[in-house]
């Protein structure tokens, strides 16, 4: 297989890379010629299946179980990449959870759990990978935020707070490492078809779609295409940005 010169021989670490948006990003990067480290929290079977699909594209793929809410697990994910490939060129912080509920009835446990995975987990992964990227004077970091972090969303105070935090963290870290050849950007997906949206009623889906100028839900591949560009060498003069991939939902 002929690899894309923009990504050939790069190593990418994708948290939550076995399912949904994470899986689509993993496959898109593999199609560009990246070797991939696929982090998963729960489904080993899904991770191994995604790895097989990547290997069929002519790249190496390894899986590593870990919860990014754990500092030890974040270190393990990065150490796996270092052991297997000797470097990390691309880090995609995609792992995330939801524990929805109205603020008045939301427990502190549910609020903190979402921040620990979605926001603190991304911080820990960036910190763990930083030394290798700074030494190499090269890196691409892509943090998956959400339009909920820009617009807010009823019943998602914890999720919206975590995704807004991702945006602030992205911009701050981008300023810290720009001179080292490292870019840090965020993608804010809109309403995207995933396992979570499959559980919604048809009426609820149609209500949301009516608010989207593009008049359709997004596909995981829509997010993956944006991530593949931001992960490439062609995006080297783009940093600290938030790219909304939302069909015009929050313009």
Could you give the domains of the chain? 11-245 (3.40.50.720)
Q: Which two tokens stand for residue 67?
A: 């919860």
Q: Quick one: average pLDDT of 129-148?
A: 97
Q: Residue 168 has what pLDDT?
A: 98
153 CB neighbour count, 10 Å cutoff: 15
Query: Which residue's structure tokens are 């938030």?
Result: 242
Q: Residue 7 has what pLDDT?
A: 64
Overall size of the chain counted in residues? 251
Q: Residue 207 has what pLDDT?
A: 86
Single out the residue of 97, 197, 183 nearest to residue 133, CA to CA: 183
Q: Residue 54 has what pLDDT?
A: 98
pLDDT-based confidence at residue 1 (cuts at 50, 70, 90): very low
Which of 93-97, 121-125, 208-212 comes out lowest in average pLDDT?
208-212
Q: Residue 230 has what pLDDT?
A: 98
Tell me the sheet residues that pair with 218.
192
Q: How far apart are CA 182 and CA 92, in angstroms?
A: 13
Non-local CB neighbours of 22 within 8 Å, separated by 6+ positions? 14, 15, 16, 92, 94, 95
Instruction: Provide the annotated active-site residues.
Output: 159
Question: What would the pLDDT profile of 169-188 be if each residue is shown by its tens digit?
Answer: 999 999 999 999 999 999 99
DSSP 168: H
β strands within 124-209, DSSP E: 139-144, 182-189
Q: Quick one: average pLDDT of 26-53?
A: 97
Tell me the sheet residues that pair with 186.
143, 242
Question: What would the pLDDT profile of 203-245 be if each residue is shown by its tens digit?
Answer: 878 888 899 999 999 999 999 999 999 999 999 999 999 999 9
DSSP 42: S
pLDDT-based confidence at residue 9 (cuts at 50, 70, 90): confident
Question: What would the pLDDT profile of 60-89 be if each residue is shown by its tens digit?
Answer: 999 999 999 999 999 999 999 999 999 999
Torsion of the alpha carbons at 199, 187, 64 and 86, rounded to the nearest 10: 170
Q: How far apart are CA 233 and CA 83, in angstroms?
A: 24
Single out the residue of 2, 190, 195, 8 nearest to residue 89, CA to CA: 8
194 CB neighbour count, 10 Å cutoff: 20
Q: Is the dihedral of CA 130, 80, 15, 112 positive or negative?
A: negative
pLDDT over 90, % of the chain: 88
Q: Which two tokens stand for residue 7?
A: 């990504």
Q: How far apart are CA 175 and CA 37, in angstroms?
A: 26
Q: Which two tokens stand for residue 120?
A: 């603190």
Q: Which two tokens stand for residue 181?
A: 């050849």
DSSP 128: H
Q: Residue 3 has what pLDDT?
A: 46
CB 52 within 8 A of CB 46: no
């Amino acid at each position: 297989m002929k690899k894309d010169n923009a990504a050939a021989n790069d190593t990418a670490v994708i948290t939550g890379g076995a399912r949904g948006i994470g899986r689509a990003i993993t496959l898109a990067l593999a199609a560009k010629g990246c070797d991939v480290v696929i982090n998963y929290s729960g489904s080993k079977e899904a991770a191994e299946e995604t790895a097989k699909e990547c290997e069929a594209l002519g790249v190496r793929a390894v899986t590593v179980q870990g919860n990014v809410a754990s500092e030890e697990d974040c270190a393990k994910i990065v150490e796996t990449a270092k052991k297997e490939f000797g470097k990390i060129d691309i880090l995609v912080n995609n792992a995330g959870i939801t524990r929805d509920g109205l603020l008045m009835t939301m427990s502190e446990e549910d609020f903190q759990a979402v921040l620990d995975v979605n926001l603190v987990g991304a911080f820990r992964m960036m910190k763990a990978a930083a030394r290798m990227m700074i030494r190499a004077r090269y890196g691409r970091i892509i943090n998956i935020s959400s339009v909920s972090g820009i617009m807010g969303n009823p019943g998602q105070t914890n999720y919206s707070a975590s995704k807004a935090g991702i945006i602030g963290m992205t911009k701050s870290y981008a300023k810290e490492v720009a001179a080292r050849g490292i870019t840090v950007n965020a993608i804010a997906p809109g309403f995207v078809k995933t396992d979570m949206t499959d559980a919604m009623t048809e009426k609820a889906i149609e209500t949301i779609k009516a608010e989207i100028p593009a008049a359709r839900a997004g596909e995981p591949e829509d997010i993956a295409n944006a991530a593949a560009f931001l992960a490439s060498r062609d995006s080297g003069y783009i940093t600290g940005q938030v790219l909304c991939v939302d069909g015009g939902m929050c313009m």
